[in-house]
Amino acid sequence: MIAVTCSPAGPKLDLNYSMPTPAPGEALLRVLLAGICSTDVEVAFRKYKGGFTGVLGHEFVGRIDVLNLKRKKDCGFSIGDRVVSEINIVPSFSKSTNYHQRAQDPDRSVLGLIKRDGVFAEYVCVPIENLHKVPDNIPPEVAVFTEPLAAACQILEQVHIKPTDRLAVLGIGKLGVLICFVLKACGKDVTAISKKGSHFDVLELRDIPTRKVSEAMADMKESFDLVVECTGNAEGFNNALELVKPYGTIVLKTTMAGMTQTNLTAVVVKELTLVGSRCGPFDAALRMLSTRQVVLDDIKKDIYDITAFPSAISRALMAETLKVILRITPTSSN
Ligand SMILES: [Zn+2]
């Protein structure tokens, strides 16, 4: 089968990668579309810890081809169902039964990131317990956003946000946009802040106020009860420390791979709370899409055939591109 693999030599399109076989309790999925996210780019070019080798990719929508059931009882899924899959996979002996536990299980593997082939391939195997059915009214081009949208929803799982709170999202890339949409959908007072102003148009269409970092740093210091930090760099984190009010909260939504040194004095002096935030609830994300509380139809997506992967990843490196998607199964059979 066709797959995009990654090794110390970099990412490579492999036309002859061996087909996976589903273990008991797993489903074999035909991948329809897969999204390229910043983490994939970091993994591909060896900037991500761990030095992953295998098939890249973790954001996708697929279709069930084979169900290898452990016991002959209804698993709630049928062949042909359109599904998305949580990315943290635990071994069968694990007692981790929900997404929170799976995300922190010490024995976990992670699709396309840790010890497990990912989804930039025609087929992938995942445990049936990781699957979520995609409601019929969500097209594949929108369903492919479920994983990052779930990550955006995770903030609501972790932090109690009062109706009167003022929120800022700092760093408006792919994830920052989705976080703004989720917070807005929940009726929160959210301002989007970024250096260059990329993607401000899609936010303004949804009445989400936008500010350049230079403007915000001039007149919005200590204005926000909660700042969601999505830049992943020391400058962004330092700005967050200044934008947040005393006793406020900063949610860290990126892995800060490049951040070597920062001064945490402000955390102590302002008595701040820092919250690290990662994978989120898929069911909540799918409900938001299905009920159209979050609408992604008009989001600019660049769709490339998987065989054009080199062009797709170059495109994903450009700041003005909101989302690059790989088409892995031709549209006619979606
Ligand atoms: Zn991702």
- CATH number for position 103: 3.90.180.10
> How far does the centroid of ligand 1 lie from the alpha carbon of residue 41, in Å?
10
> How far does the centroid of ligand 1 lie from the alpha carbon of residue 189, in Å?
26
Per residue in 284-332, pLDDT (tens digit) is: 999 999 999 999 988 888 999 999 999 999 998 886 778 899 999 975 5
Do 114 and 202 lie in one domain? The reply is no
> How far does the centroid of ligand 1 lie from the alpha carbon of residue 50, in Å?
16
For residue 290, being part of any structural domain is answered with: no
**Quick one: pLDDT at residue 3?**
97
Do 156 and 134 lie in one domain? The reply is no
Do 130 and 65 lie in one domain? The reply is yes
Beta bridge partners of residue 13, listed in sequence order: 4
Task: Give pLDDT < 70 ranges for the chain.
Answer: 46-50, 256-260, 319, 331-334
> How far does the centroid of ligand 1 lie from the alpha carbon of residue 19, in Å?
24
Q: How many CB atoms lie within 10 A of CB 196?
A: 11
- Decide: residue 19, CB within 10 A, 0-12 exposed, 13-18 middle, 19+ buried: exposed
Q: In one letter, which amino acid is 294?
A: V
**Quick one: pLDDT at residue 74?**
78
> How far does the centroid of ligand 1 lie from the alpha carbon of residue 207, in Å?
26
Asked whether the beta carbons of 145 and 296 are under 8 A apart, the reply is yes
For residue 284, being part of any structural domain is answered with: no
**Quick one: pLDDT at residue 92?**
84
Do 215 and 329 lie in one domain? The reply is no
Q: Name the domain count of the chain.
A: 2
For residue 294, being part of any structural domain is answered with: no
> How far does the centroid of ligand 1 lie from the alpha carbon of residue 220, in Å?
30
Closest to 327 (Cα-Cα) out of 297, 302, 298, 310: 302
> How far does the centroid of ligand 1 lie from the alpha carbon of residue 302, in Å?
16
> How far does the centroid of ligand 1 lie from the alpha carbon of residue 149, in Å?
10
Do 253 and 173 lie in one domain? The reply is yes
For residue 183, being part of any structural domain is answered with: yes
Do 265 and 308 lie in one domain? The reply is no
Do 203 and 267 lie in one domain? The reply is yes
**DSSP, res 20:** P
- CATH number for position 212: 3.40.50.720
For residue 291, being part of any structural domain is answered with: no
**Quick one: pLDDT at residue 263?**
78
> How far does the centroid of ligand 1 lie from the alpha carbon of residue 247, in Å?
31
Closest to 188 (Cα-Cα) out of 214, 212, 169, 215: 169
For residue 318, being part of any structural domain is answered with: yes
Q: In one letter, which amino acid is 189?
A: D
Per residue in 264-278, pLDDT (tens digit) is: 899 999 999 999 999
**Quick one: pLDDT at residue 272?**
97
For residue 187, being part of any structural domain is answered with: yes
> How far does the centroid of ligand 1 lie from the alpha carbon of residue 58, in Å?
6
> How far does the centroid of ligand 1 lie from the alpha carbon of residue 119, in Å?
12
Do 155 and 125 lie in one domain? The reply is no
Do 172 and 186 lie in one domain? The reply is yes
Q: 3-class SS at 130?
A: helix
Whole domain around residue 9: which residue ranges? 3-145+299-333
For residue 82, being part of any structural domain is answered with: yes
> How far does the centroid of ligand 1 lie from the alpha carbon of residue 95, in Å?
25
> How far does the centroid of ligand 1 lie from the alpha carbon of residue 56, in Å?
11
**Quick one: pLDDT at residue 127?**
95
Do 316 and 229 lie in one domain? The reply is no
Do 241 and 117 lie in one domain? The reply is no
Asked whether the beta carbons of 33 and 323 are under 8 A apart, the reply is no
Longest C-alpha distance within the chain, in Å? 64
Do 125 and 160 lie in one domain? The reply is no
